[in-house]
Structure formats: C-alpha cells, structure tokens
Amino acid sequence: MSSLDTASEAPRPSLPDLFTGFLKIGLMGFGGVGPVARHIIVAERNWLDDRGYAELMGICQALPGANTVNAAVMLGDRFRGGVGALTCVFALMAMPLLCLVGLANAYDAVSSHPLAQVALTGAAASAAGLILGTAVRLLTRAGLARWAWVMAAAAFVAVGLLRLPMLPTLLVLVPLGLIAATLGARRV
C-alpha cells in the first residue's frame, strides 16, 4: 500500500481544501462523477498520483456503495481522520442533493401536466438505455474469464429476469465468485 502515501511529499490538504475539492467534484459531475473526480484529485489538487489513484479506485470497487463516495471517505480519513471523511462526504453530496431538491420540486409543480409525464417517461426510457449501454461496454471491455461471464449471466438472470430478491442472490453468488477468483488467481 506504499504508493497510497505518495502525497506525503506534498503538504497534507487542510479541511477547507478537502471541502472545496469535493464540493467541486459533486457540482461538476453531471452525468457521472468518475472523470471529474480523477481530474480534481490527481491533476488539479495533486492529492494522489496516477498509481495512487488507480489503487484507491481498486479498493473502492471492492466495496459496496458509489465509488466516489468511498473515495471521499478514504481520502478524507487518510488526510484528516474521521472529521476529514465526514467533511469530504458532506461536500460531495451537498450540491447534488440541493440540485435534486430543486428538480424534485420542479417535478412536483408540473407533475399534473400530461406533457411533463410524457417527457419524463421518455427520459426514463433513455435513462434505462444509458445504464444498459454502460453495462454492455464495461462487460465487453472487462476482459472477463469464462467463469466470470457465468457469474455475470447468473446475476443478470436471477435479479433482472427472475426478479429474485437481491440478498439471497448475493449470498449465493458472492461466495461462489470468491472461490472462483481465488482459484483463478492461484493459476496466474
């Protein structure tokens, strides 16, 4: 984990630094915060180098929850402890939540109007396409082993088609995945 400490050469960011950095990430992340987060954490604020950032994201991917939220917790804690983690998560969520309240109130104001319902139905159909397209792109580029394709298919069929509850599905699939990953990793 040594490369996670690269920022030790640079001065440790202060709480206001962390706050403004993550406020910006939250505000600029229209349509996905990933690229913005990387730009601000690595290029603009120099909190981590490329390798440190990749390592951080690797850990975030292994945890439940949005990657950027996990990154906010881990960076905040590393630089400024628990208070830092809280500061980063609050800064990250503040502006998006305000925007969401604004959008929700706008929706409330027009929701009885048929045109608004129609527009949002169209938006919902597109939003579903966004997720499908992203999923297919990631699936085709992840370089999955054969067992991993089976796991992905099993998760899709169980939750997407059979509409099984998620908790028992995960309680079966995650241990199987861990076993397969351990055996696969040993072979490499």
Nearest distance from residue 129's CB to another protein, in Å? 3
Q: Does 27 participate in binding another protein (rule CB under 8 A)?
A: yes
Nearest distance from residue 1's CB to another protein, in Å? 6
For the chain, state the CA radius of gyration.
Answer: 20
Q: Does 62 participate in binding another protein (rule CB under 8 A)?
A: yes
Closest by Cα among 177, 131, 178 to 154 = 177
Nearest distance from residue 15's CB to another protein, in Å? 17
Helix (H, G, I), strand (E, B) or coil at 6: helix
Q: Does 32 participate in binding another protein (rule CB under 8 A)?
A: yes
* Positions in 110-169 near another protein (CB under 8 A): 115, 117-139, 142, 144, 148-149, 151-156, 159-161, 163, 165-167
* Positions in 86-115 near another protein (CB under 8 A): 89, 92-93, 95-97, 99-101, 103-104, 107, 115
Q: How far is it, in rounded angstroms, from Cα 17 to Cα 33?
A: 19
Closest by Cα among 21, 2, 39 to 94 = 21
Segment interacting with another protein, rule: CB under 8 A, options 9-17, 46-54, 70-78: 70-78
Nearest distance from residue 14's CB to another protein, in Å? 20
Q: How far is CA 154 from CA 51, 74, 182, in A?
A: 33, 32, 19
Q: How far is it, in rounded angstroms, from Cα 159 to Cα 157?
A: 6
Q: Are 82 and 31 in contact (CB under 8 A)?
A: no
Segment interacting with another protein, rule: CB under 8 A, options 9-17, 43-51, 176-184: 176-184
